Homo-oligomer: A and B are copies of this chain.
């Protein structure tokens, strides 16, 4: 039940902003935002105006907030999603790679499950292009870009990225300054204080970035679980259907891997600790996380199978992924990428420094781990200084179903600040990670 306005909007706005600060495109954008807020449909020109004003003309945050909020009303039709993605791509920079371009994306991934560098290395080692652009952490303990930055640079220009990918087949860089689907970054910043995002908005965000990177073989990792972004398989299936339909409209081949996840697969949480986990798997040292390895192989194998199909090649993704990892070829590729990104290609996992101060949390009773609280993992990591302090974080010593004895070490905490370490230690009572029964 909505009222029409006393003023036709165009007149109103033109008069209000009559000293030429508002042009026709801005009026179109604002009117389109209002339409969405009132549950009406918009066309491509309107979607373009919104994205263009957000990306390139500094549309005020209030308007962006109203647009973000509008996705909670009646949502977007399939056509509107197409328009929004296209407009988001067209109002930013693009990287044009030819031929097969693989990509992998995880939605609302678990902390401490850094598969991207491993998958990228395997796929690039198989000879396929995989230009990964990743984000830094905002509200999580670490983003893939943060983890890579422990090992090499991640801030490159579009020309540099093209050069790196043409040279070594892959990259793992930061998307921050590339101006790829820039409207998305603005919207995410405005949504951040409420930390909300609609399904529709997530779909638009992911796809716009992928299309701008010319990705055409996309594997979407969709973990489901009580403490994940998506909690129910039915929701995951709805998401998948919408996502796949939209991919097809853009000519992108996509596979969606819906999987249950209850706890981190790696051991460390925090940029430095996760970089260690990645290097351990790639260099196949005995103390590596086998669960992180197996998840990475699974994702890489599915992505390779997609590439084979596009390439008219008869091969088995799983076989090749395992081979590339075991033979050291994936590690070799990872070191090539590190070198191309101006890092030390000879770095060993134990070269990576952790924070100076360390504290062990011990079990206050014996029993079996029945639950891992992923919220509390992130909360503690942030109390320790992550994501700003790259060396801060925590190591999980136990997994679900594991038996523990009283005084067993459960968690190691790392922080550059003794004060923070103390605070995290005190907070653990209220933010327990393990439920022991």
Interface residues of A (CB under 8 A from B): 1-9, 11-13, 15-16, 18, 30, 33-34, 37-39, 60-63, 65-66, 68-70, 72-73, 75, 108, 139-140, 190, 193-200, 202, 227-231, 235, 238-239, 374-376, 378-379, 382-383, 431
**Within the complex, what minimum Cβ distance (angstroms) separates A404 from chain B?**
25
Please tell me if the beta carbons of B38 and A1 are within 8 angstroms of each other in the complex: no
Which residues of the partner chain B approach A374 to less than 8 Å between Cβ atoms? 6
**Within the complex, what minimum Cβ distance (angstroms) separates A142 from chain B?**
13
Which residues of the partner chain B approach A9 to less than 8 Å between Cβ atoms? 195
> What residue in chain B is nearest A190 (Cβ atoms)?
B62
CA gap between A431 and B38 in the complex, in Å: 27
Please tell me if the beta carbons of B8 and A375 are within 8 angstroms of each other in the complex: yes
**Within the complex, what minimum Cβ distance (angstroms) separates A81 from chain B?**
12
Asked whether A194 and B37 contact (CB < 8 A) given A3-B199, A3-B202, the answer is: yes
Please tell me if the beta carbons of B65 and A193 are within 8 angstroms of each other in the complex: no
Please tell me if the beta carbons of A11 and B379 are within 8 angstroms of each other in the complex: yes
Identical subunits present: 2
Which residues of the partner chain B approach A2 to less than 8 Å between Cβ atoms? 72, 196, 198-199
CA gap between A68 and B7 in the complex, in Å: 19
CA gap between A277 and B6 in the complex, in Å: 22
**Within the complex, what minimum Cβ distance (angstroms) separates A286 from chain B?**
32
Which residues of the partner chain B approach A16 to less than 8 Å between Cβ atoms? 139
* Chain A at the B interface: SS class: helix
**Within the complex, what minimum Cβ distance (angstroms) separates A152 from chain B?**
27
Most buried by B among A37, A61, A239: A37
Which residues of the partner chain B approach A139 to less than 8 Å between Cβ atoms? 6-7, 12, 16
Which residues of the partner chain B approach A108 to less than 8 Å between Cβ atoms? 3, 6
Please tell me if the beta carbons of A6 and B198 are within 8 angstroms of each other in the complex: no
Most buried by B among A39, A195, A228: A195
Q: Which of B3, B12, B33, B66 contacts A198 (CB 8 A)?
A: B3
Which residues of the partner chain B approach A37 to less than 8 Å between Cβ atoms? 69, 72, 194, 196
Which residues of the partner chain B approach A4 to less than 8 Å between Cβ atoms? 229-231
Please tell me if the beta carbons of A5 and B229 are within 8 angstroms of each other in the complex: yes
Closest 6 CB pairs of A and B: A69-B69, A65-B65, A1-B199, A6-B229, A37-B72, A15-B382
Please tell me if the beta carbons of B1 and A193 are within 8 angstroms of each other in the complex: no
